[in-house]
Amino acid sequence: QVQLVESGGGSVQAGGSLRLSCAAFGAAYSTYYSTYCMGWFRQAPGKEREGVAAISDGSTTYADSVKGRFTISKDNAKDTLYLQMNSLKPEDTAMYYCAADPLYCGLSTRYNYWGQGTQVTVSS
C-alpha cells in the first residue's frame, strides 16, 4: 500500500509563491519509488479535478495554465514530491492533491494512489 501526505498549502496574495510537498510512505513505494510516476492535481469548488504537473524518470509535463510558473520535482532520497508555485493567480485557488502510479504517467486522473489534499488560496 502507498500513502501520500501533502503539506505546504496556505493563503497568499496574487504574485506570491508557495511550495507544496508530498511525502510518500509504504513498503512497496519505498522499494519502487524512483520508478513511480508522480503528479500534482487540483480541484476548485464546483469544478472537475485537473492535472497540473507530472514527473517520471526526470521527464516533466505541465498543464498549459501553469507552464513557466510551476515546477515539479522529486527527491528520491526523501521519498518526497514538490511543487514550486510562483506568480500565483487567484484562479490557482484550489485543493491540491498529489498522486502516484507505478505505470501511468500523465495529467489524467488515472493514478492509483492519492493524498488527502492541501488547500491553496490566492487573493487578489
Q: What is the DSSP letter of 108?
A: S
Of residues 93, 98, 117, 111, the one with CA closest to residue 45? 93
For the cut 90, the answer to whether the pLDDT of residue 102 exceeds it is no
Tell me what pLDDT residue 33 has: 62
Q: Name the grid cell of 30.
A: 519505498
Tens digits of per-residue pLDDT, 42-80? Answer: 999 999 999 999 999 779 999 999 999 999 999 888 889
Average pLDDT over the chain, rounded to an integer: 92
Distance, in Å, from the CA atom of 124 to the CA atom of 103, rounded to the nearest integer, reads 39
Span between the terminal Cα atoms of the chain, in Å:
40
pLDDT score at 77: 84
- pLDDT band of residue 119 (cuts 50, 70, 90) is very high
Q: What is the pLDDT of residues 18-30, one digit of tens each?
A: 999 999 887 665 6
Specify the pLDDT at position 59. 92
